[in-house]
Amino acid sequence: MALARGGAGACEVLELAPLAGGTYSARLIPELAALLARRHLQKTDLEGFAVVSGPGSFTGLRVGLAAVKGLAEVLRRPIAAVSMLEAIAAQGNPEGSVVAALDAGRSEIFAGEYAVHGGEPRSQGEYLLTREQFSVFLEAHPGLELVTPDGAVAELASTHLHMRRIDWPDAGRIARLGLQKLIAGETIAPEALEANYIRRSDAEIFFPLTKRV
């Protein structure tokens, strides 16, 4: 979690507050309260929220999005939704066409195509690919820059000419991207904010709805 402030073209991350693994659902709101207290701020001083909308774990996304939706609705503040693939594409400040990729498990890859200019990524599409489809895609685009923080993806793409492994984007990176979205008016109402799973949930895969007649 990050607390940041700034304006157009500038963002200062005031503090990062780590949330430990499986306990973050219980710690998120108390840590936010403590973070504001350390900075002598009230919750009403917050002017907007940035949140990762996916892709990621179903439970993790639901917890984070529910917390932000509740806070934004109560405080009547705007929300900026940031894709994790978008954050990866922007992480190394590349320019031009970039593919950001993450291991999705089940022998699949999350991949996002982005056009990056001035450090700002614009989505050209996000996909769920099999490992075979991902390899074929890279072979067909030898000059395309691939960025990933994921060791499994880096190993799979080790022969790609323009593969670059980066650090995982932290909350500060999400805050910077979110702030620019907030300033640009690229916001979403709490009731409209949904997780960007890309993949369907197990319930949808294994227990599809059947038509009743």
Measured distance CA(165)–CA(34) in Å, rounded:
34
Contact 176, 4 (CB under 8 A): yes
Q: Is 212 a domain residue?
A: no
Contacts of 209 by beta carbon, 8 Å cutoff, 6+ apart: none
Q: Which residues contact 111 (CB under 8 A, 6 or more apart)?
A: 85, 99, 100, 101, 126, 127, 128, 129, 134, 137
Same domain, 59 and 104: no
Q: Which residue did the predictor score with more confidence, 199 or 159?
A: 159
Which tens digits make up the pLDDT trace of 12-41? 999 999 887 667 778 888 999 999 999 999
Check whether 200 has a pLDDT greater than 60. Answer: no
Tokens representing 73? Answer: 């609705």
- The rounded distance, in Å, linking the Cα atoms of 105 and 118 is 32
Examine the domain organization and report whether 121 and 159 are in the same domain.
Answer: yes
Residue 52 lies in a domain: yes
Buried b (16+ CB within 10 A) or exposed e, 195-207: bbbbbeeeeeeee
Residue 24 lies in a domain: yes
Structure tokens at 21: 């693994």
Query: Would 211 be classed as within a structural domain?
Result: no
Are 71 and 107 part of one and the same domain? Answer: no
In this model, does residue 207 exceed pLDDT 70?
A: no
CATH number at residue 62: 3.30.420.40
Same domain, 149 and 116: yes
User: Are residues 105 and 119 part of one domain?
Assistant: yes
* Residue 97 domain boundaries: 84-165
pLDDT digits (tens, 9 = 90+) for 38-75: 999 999 999 999 999 999 888 888 888 999 999 999 99
Confirm whether 77 is domain-assigned: yes
Residue 4's nearest CA partner among 37, 53, 48 is 48
The pTM of this model reads 0.87
Quick: pLDDT tens for 150-174. Answer: 999 999 999 998 999 999 999 999 9
- Spatial separation of the C-alpha atoms in residues 131 and 203, rounded to whole Å: 23
Q: At 126, is the secondary structure helix, strand, or coil? A: strand
Say yes or no: 95 and 23 in one domain: no
Residues 121 and 138 in one domain: yes
Q: Which residues are 6's β-sheet partners?
A: 11
Q: What's the pLDDT at 213?
A: 40
Say if 94 falls within a structural domain. yes
Sign of the C-alpha dihedral computed for residues 192, 28, 123 and 108 taken in this order: negative
Three-state DSSP state, 13: strand
- pLDDT for the residue 204: 41
